[in-house]
A and B are shown apart, each in its own frame.
Chain A
């Protein structure tokens, strides 16, 4: 890996998050919305504040949020704050910081995305490899078309059907949520078990759909590796069938999967957010829906910025470890 590539790649990462932050800054100013004024009139319509003192309150809040300063100063401050993950106060849950609202929801989403991604990558690669392997059982070939058909459907639509059959009719799983209402989140075994039970259906709706994506890529790569000379050589040397499959076929075919995973990560996360909305899962997605319904702009911008940042960071890390996993790839300059 050359220093030039490394710098360029990290530069792109910062460009993406700078773009995301700038976008969040510019858009409300172009659209000319004033979140504080809106929140006030929302409160006024509910009778929470009387119309007489709203003027003064708006002035006060604008000063507090720094909205009375010149635009450039506001911008620099904004970017500086975003760089430190300081998104200010949530408008809907006022005294609470956006950062602490998000940090409550983030672990739920991180665990859900990571666990289901690992499972679907593993199952998809296994299925794709076995479908392309001449020695494997025909059962895998029969399994392939239904899995592929499922991959065309958005996660959350599968999620709705899963809720109906497994939670509503069969009552095997709880109806939505992240944990049983009333139980307090803690570090004990019972809570983990309860949370795991709640996570199975959301995870399943992601896994069922995504196996197909992973499997079809893997199948293509396995077909290609089987034509390679090293396979022939290994076979001629008398390597056992499973060794050919695992160490010569799968080992070489699995690496491009990482690239396709990195490219689809944004898509996966958008899908997971909607799955959370369907299940009422207490992660970033449900928080996002709440911020939309409450017109909680600061929370919304914070969430969107953080999601873009996490995906950009994950893609960067995958890009950087890729040459370590696959010695054939070097980011050396073309000679």
Chain B
């Protein structure tokens, strides 16, 4: 909390919501959204992320995909020139906003097509990983036992292992070229550990609370307790874990790409960085090649960071009092 204003608004809203609590699933689902008004950091992050997603999706509609293919246009052109190129015997021309790279791609086209691709890999991997982690976390927190012990120990062990190293071995050994979806699936196998720990810890503490006991005594079965009593309260945690998981997954995918192990012939931002490094762009002063992907990634990572930071007071109510 940097200013006092949203802080006081937050506590005001909290009290109003507390009065309405217990009046149904929909309301408790919506509660975090009403709180958002009080959390500018969270909003800033969500807006920035939405902007980057839309920027890529809308922008890519106005871009000739041929321009993102190697060898289409003249190489190493600085930004702001018109390029002429031929596709299947047809002469085309385009205004090159960001110039071209050393392999004859248009940097603007690559950035437009690559941004949604990279975000897609991050989100898909994170969603799958989150689902696995949440399910295992609930099972572990609820039932305990051998299964819980196994997965928790396994997660604790895997957390200290550098995931990128494992993925490098997998990618090099399998060697068959992967597409973005396959890459996301492989990465998802390594992003479930933190969600599992977070959710498991929450379920463990929540299980002992009075309202859960009340629900159980009132005859709610386990599924009802999980979906109606626990999940709504876990939403801020889930959202914060998801944002962190997306950041982790994206970090991993561009790490793989930057080592040349990404999906081939796809203009992902990581691949663009790989080729820029391969052709020593930063050392040759071809700044227009590496700046757009680096900037796009910085904005996406920044938005995810703002979302996580903005959700922190929601996920850890104790922080709200500290300021």
Chain A residues proximal to chain B, CB less than 8 Å: 12, 15-16, 19-20, 23-24, 27-28, 31, 33, 148-149, 151-154, 156-157, 160-161, 163-164, 167-169, 175-176, 223, 262-263, 265-267, 269-270, 273-274, 277-278, 288-289, 292-293, 295, 297, 300-301, 304, 307-308, 311-312, 315
Q: How far is the CA of A24 from the CA of B304 in the complex (A)?
A: 34
Q: How far is the CA of A23 from the CA of B169 in the complex (A)?
A: 9
Assess A312 versus B164: contact at CB under 8 Å? Given A153-B298, A277-B259, A289-B259.
Answer: no
Taking CB atoms, residues of chain B closer than 8 Å to A16 are: 157, 160-161
Q: Is the CB of B294 within 8 A of A266?
A: no
Q: Is the CB of A307 within 8 A of B251?
A: no
Q: Is the CB of B162 within 8 A of A297?
A: no
Partner of A269, one of B162, B169, B301: B162
Q: In B248-263, which residues have CB < 8 Å from any A CB?
A: 251, 254-255, 258-261
Q: A160-B277, A263-B159, A288-B168 are in contact. List 8 more A-B contacts (CB 8 A).
A: A152-B247, A157-B297, A164-B285, A164-B290, A262-B160, A270-B255, A274-B259, A292-B261
Q: How far is the CA of A307 from the CA of B165 in the complex (A)?
A: 8
Q: Is the CB of B259 within 8 A of A292?
A: yes
Taking CB atoms, residues of chain A closer than 8 Å to B309 are: 148
State how many angstroms separate the Cβ of A33 from the closest Cβ of chain B.
6
Q: How far is the CA of A145 from the CA of B191 in the complex (A)?
A: 27
In the complex, residue of chain A having the shortest beta-carbon distance to the beta carbon of B254: A154
Taking CB atoms, residues of chain B closer than 8 Å to A289 are: 259-260
Q: Is the CB of B283 within 8 A of A168?
A: yes
Q: Is the CB of A301 within 8 A of B162?
A: no
Q: Is the CB of A292 within 8 A of B322?
A: no
A-B contacts, 5 of them at CB < 8 A, read A152-B298, A157-B294, A176-B283, A292-B261, A301-B169
Q: How far is the CA of A308 from the CA of B165 in the complex (A)?
A: 8
Partner of B162, one of A152, A168, A307: A307
Size band of the interface chain B makes with A: 35 or more
Partner of A151, one of B162, B165, B259, B305: B305
Q: Confirm or deny: B146 has a beta carbon within 8 angstroms of a beta carbon on chain A.
A: no
Q: Is the CB of B258 within 8 A of A156?
A: yes
Chain B residues proximal to chain A, CB less than 8 Å: 153, 157, 159-166, 168-170, 172-175, 247, 251, 254-255, 258-261, 273, 276-277, 282-285, 287, 290, 294, 297-298, 301-302, 304-305, 309, 322
Q: Is the CB of B260 within 8 A of A154?
A: no
Q: How far is the CA of A307 from the CA of B162 in the complex (A)?
A: 8
Partner of B290, one of A151, A154, A160: A160
Taking CB atoms, residues of chain A closer than 8 Å to B305 are: 148-149, 151-152
Taking CB atoms, residues of chain B closer than 8 Å to A223 are: 322
Q: How far is the CA of A308 from the CA of B166 in the complex (A)?
A: 9
Q: Is the CB of A153 within 8 A of B160?
A: no
Q: Is the CB of B160 within 8 A of A263?
A: yes
State how many angstroms separate the Cβ of B110 from the closest Cβ of chain A.
16
State how many angstroms separate the Cβ of B195 from the closest Cβ of chain A.
15
Q: Is the CB of A31 within 8 A of B173?
A: yes
Q: Is the CB of B260 within 8 A of A164?
A: no
Q: Is the CB of B159 within 8 A of A266?
A: yes
Q: Is the CB of B166 within 8 A of A23?
A: yes
Taking CB atoms, residues of chain B closer than 8 Å to A277 are: 258-259, 277
Q: How far is the CA of A164 from the CA of B290 in the complex (A)?
A: 10
Partner of A266, one of B160, B175, B301, B302: B160
Assess A168 versus B282: contact at CB under 8 Å? Given A27-B173, A153-B298.
Answer: yes
Partner of A270, one of B157, B164, B294: B164
Taking CB atoms, residues of chain A closer than 8 Å to B285 are: 164, 168-169
Taking CB atoms, residues of chain B closer than 8 Å to A156 are: 258
State how many angstroms separate the Cβ of B123 from the closest Cβ of chain A.
17
